[in-house]
Structure 1
């Protein structure tokens, strides 16, 4: 059995998550690493933090694949005087590359939003904002549940299929109202509130909803809102990306170990004093 190089892995990732499909403001691709170096093990995480970098190095990974960029807005320094700089130094010292697939993985046919849609059994799905008319790639997804259910039950389903976090699942709207048409967007999705209303969704599953946009939206009626945490709504993509890499390596006759981090990198450690209607 042979081994893949970092360049081979990059080529696999960019075939499935083309960088050209990322948003203009995004920063995706290879951040650190030598394309010629062999890669026998890959670690996957949502965030490139000091903790996930350390975890990758402890596993002996030659690449840390993350969803979120390390330097989304660019930088003039990677000095180890900041947490982000320390991540760069950790990885380089340990011989581990860093690659980011962000909004290109969100939009992909087999990406972040597809993984989230699969977990709740969404049928007849299509992008909320397709890259081209009738296209299969683009922002978010909208489709139908196999059977209608009360909003409360739908929220309980979301809580059951997503990894647990301190925040849990927040719900806005009539808890006993029936929902069937579901819109979703992994990560922060309040920019699509208007679009999902125009598409006739009964409920919108996303993350990081802010007080005023959510309150003003609900005052106008449906879709109701189900708010997960940013990390939880995007984590389901990691096992899917890991399986893709494993299969690609096998097809090439190469050995490759893949490890999916379950470390919760949401910033919140505890929720105190919540109430349940």
Structure 2
């Protein structure tokens, strides 16, 4: 039986909650870790319509980009618009999980999905946020279990270097121990010194995954007490951040490129700022509300910056500085619905039981046009 905790553990191997900004509210928001999951529905937002859709389609786990519970909740009143949604979800045993800025930052997340649709090449981070800390994890494993141990920790995310996974180094040796009173040794007897042919298995682990890797290792290790070392490393980990910037294959003028963006995201219109005939080669994109990062786009040499929720003064200043802006709205982040669905479909074999994954068919775009 696949439980809520299994869905979360799998998803957080890709999108750890520790990647989220400090002001954000991500993770499990409604539900029980031990509840059974048979169908996951991905959505940008959680509204009453979305809750009704989940009920109708018998989805028991909603994975949303925008948190349903963002600020502190002092009361849950069923007549309140948000309280009504919460009551409905709880009544139908539907768990809700949010992945917000952590899904923006992670490789393959919202900003990469947007850049994929726009066919932006040679990508760089627009706003580097932090560098991952790395640790060396070394465990002493009886040689009869070395292969299964390496496979378990590799599947959990240990040993990733560039485009390689399951990277380890092993050294053969002899382990010695004496089980004392009250122990139940896998090998040996109480009161007798035991010697076992073991391998020291070393691998590299991201700080964000360290606790998960240790717990996985303990489950895969046959001994009552696993002997292991954790050593901080001076090696630089991966740099993560918001937004992406790169080049498009064929240059266009700004007006034509704005039309292209409109078609890519299937929008009724987009707003743009700048000289319509400005040549566009280098493009920056940041999903959601990115008006605070216009200077970063300028500093990285962007000809145009694509983001939502632009206001008059930011647009005017950008025009004076010569950078083009395209505002397709906040709702283009809905690309995560398909991206997250594909992640689960590609990793479904890692769950205890097969589940169904669907994307919400309801648009939560609040704006209308005439």
Question: What's the TM-score once normalised by structure 2's chain length?
Answer: 0.69
- State the Cα distance separating 1:52 from its structure 2 match: 0.8
**Are 1:171 and 1:226, in contact at CA under 8 Å, matched by a contact in 2?**
yes
Give me the whole-angstrom Cα distance separating, in 1, the residues matched to 2:260 and 2:100: 26
The one of 314, 319, 336 aligned to 1:237: 336
**Structure 1 position 264 matched with structure 2 position 262:** no
Any idea what SS the aligned residue of 1:132 has? Answer: strand
Per the alignment, residue 191 of structure 1 pairs with 292
The one of 45, 48, 66 aligned to 2:46: 48
Per the alignment, residue 210 of structure 2 pairs with none
**Are 2:26 and 2:98, in contact at CA under 8 Å, matched by a contact in 1?**
yes
More strand by share: 2
Q: Deviations over 1:121-154 (max 9, x none)?
A: 0111121112336945211111111121111222
Give me the whole-angstrom Cα distance separating, in 2, the residues matched to 1:261 and 1:206: 23
Give me the whole-angstrom Cα distance separating, in 2, the residues matched to 1:135 and 1:174: 37
**Are 1:4 and 1:249, in contact at CA under 8 Å, matched by a contact in 2?**
no
Q: CA RMSD in A?
A: 1.5
Q: Superposition pairs for residues 122-271 of structure 1, below 5 Å?
A: 122-132=120-130, 135-164=238-267, 168-222=269-323, 224-231=324-331, 233-252=332-351, 254-269=353-368, 271=369
- State the Cα distance separating 1:253 from its structure 2 match: 6.2
**Are 2:37 and 2:355, in contact at CA under 8 Å, matched by a contact in 1?**
yes
Any idea what SS the aligned residue of 2:130 has? Answer: coil
Counterparts in 2 of 1:135 and 1:190: CA distance versus 1, 3 Å:
farther
Structure 2, unmatched stretches of 5+, are 132-236
Any idea what SS the aligned residue of 1:140 has? Answer: strand
Per the alignment, residue 155 of structure 2 pairs with none
- State the Cα distance separating 1:163 from its structure 2 match: 3.7
- State the Cα distance separating 1:78 from its structure 2 match: 2.0
- State the Cα distance separating 1:18 from its structure 2 match: 1.0
- State the Cα distance separating 1:81 from its structure 2 match: 2.5
Give me the whole-angstrom Cα distance separating, in 1, the residues matched to 2:32 and 2:130: 35
**Are 1:33 and 1:95, in contact at CA under 8 Å, matched by a contact in 2?**
yes
Q: Structure 1 residue runs of 4+, over 2 Å off? A: 131-137, 250-254
Count how many residue pairs are aligned between Structure 1 and Structure 2.
265
Question: What's the TM-score once normalised by structure 1's chain length?
Answer: 0.91
Rg comparison, structure with higher value = 2
Any idea what SS the aligned residue of 1:212 has? Answer: helix
Per the alignment, residue 103 of structure 2 pairs with 105
Counterparts in 2 of 1:183 and 1:163: CA distance versus 1, 3 Å:
same
Give me the whole-angstrom Cα distance separating, in 1, the residues matched to 2:255 and 2:79: 46
Per the alignment, residue 14 of structure 2 pairs with 16
Q: Deviations over 1:255-277 (max 9, x none)?
A: 211111232212112x23xxxxx
Any idea what SS the aligned residue of 2:347 has? Answer: helix
**Are 1:123 and 1:146, in contact at CA under 8 Å, matched by a contact in 2?**
yes
**Are 2:40 and 2:63, in contact at CA under 8 Å, matched by a contact in 1?**
yes
